[in-house]
Amino acid sequence: MSRSDDIRANLAAVESRIAAACQRAERKREDVLLVAVTKVFPASDVEAAIVAGVTNVGENKVQEARDKKPLVTSSATWHLIGHLQSNKAKDAVRLFDVIQTVDSVDLATKISRHAESAGKTQDVLLQVNAGNEEQKSGVDAKDVAALAKSVAALPSMRVAGIMAIPPAGEAETMRPYFRDLKKLRDDLGLEHVSMGMTDDFEVAIEEGSTIVRIGRAIFGSRA
């Protein structure tokens, strides 16, 4: 089996699992956006995934997307899903349709300035530190509403939702975090809650995720 065939088969299996999770939750399949996480995988894999039906691509690092994106000829929506340093905000605005990891007014202000200069409206998600873990980026849940208000007031910015990476654990242990994040999204009146990855995306969908970020189940191990 070729690499392209392998990716296509893996994607079909993931799609089947997403559809089944939606059915269990009595949700429509189109209510869940699949972002294929292409971190460390080559442009050829990104191309193969898009040809196989992927419409949204996720990268963790600005510099990796900067090197990789020009080599991808097929069209997709690009998401930044890793921590963004403020000195890379200009490149992030140029490269990404959605920045999922905004966690401060300072960072948002820099993004806004570059988006305004580029003549675009930048879609952003606010990153929540769901487990209050010191080693993870993100704003405390209690501070998200204030951040959302401040970011929404900036020019050329659209706050599309929130995202989070809950503490590591078995899929079922994620359920309370996912439930709380869904409620937070609802309370804020935003469109998206980005939560769920390869090991727990089905539980995330059952608890209301609108964006799942899946890499390993599509592309294999990063080792």
- The number of domains in the chain is 1
| Mean pLDDT value of segment 2-28 | 98
Q: What is the pLDDT of residue 168?
A: 83
- Quickly state the pLDDT bin for 166 (edges 50, 70, 90): confident
Q: In this predicted model, what pLDDT tens digit does every residue of 38-73 receive, in sequence order? A: 999 999 999 999 999 999 999 999 999 999 999 999
Q: What is the pLDDT of residue 185?
A: 98
pLDDT at 131 over 70: no
pLDDT at 134 over 90: no
pLDDT at 133 over 80: no
d(CA 6, CA 26) in angstroms, rounded, equals: 30
DSSP state of 184: H
Cβ contact 100:127 at 8 Å? yes
- Which tokens is 71 given? 């080599």
Q: How far is CA 99 from CA 62, 109, 124, 202, in A?
A: 10, 13, 5, 23
Q: What is the pLDDT of residue 119?
A: 98
Q: In this predicted model, what pLDDT tens digit does every residue of 91-117 receive, in sequence order? A: 999 999 999 999 999 999 999 999 999
- Which tokens is 142 given? 């209690």
Instruction: CATH number of the domain at 123, please.
Output: 3.20.20.10
Domain containing 85 equals 3-219
pLDDT at 135 over 80: no
- Quickly state the pLDDT bin for 132 (edges 50, 70, 90): low
pLDDT at 136 over 90: no
Task: Please state the pTM of the whole predicted model.
Answer: 0.96
Cβ contact 196:212 at 8 Å? yes
d(CA 205, CA 171) in angstroms, rounded, equals: 12
**Backbone region of residue 121 per phi and psi (left: phi > 0; alpha: psi in -120 to 50; beta: other values):** beta
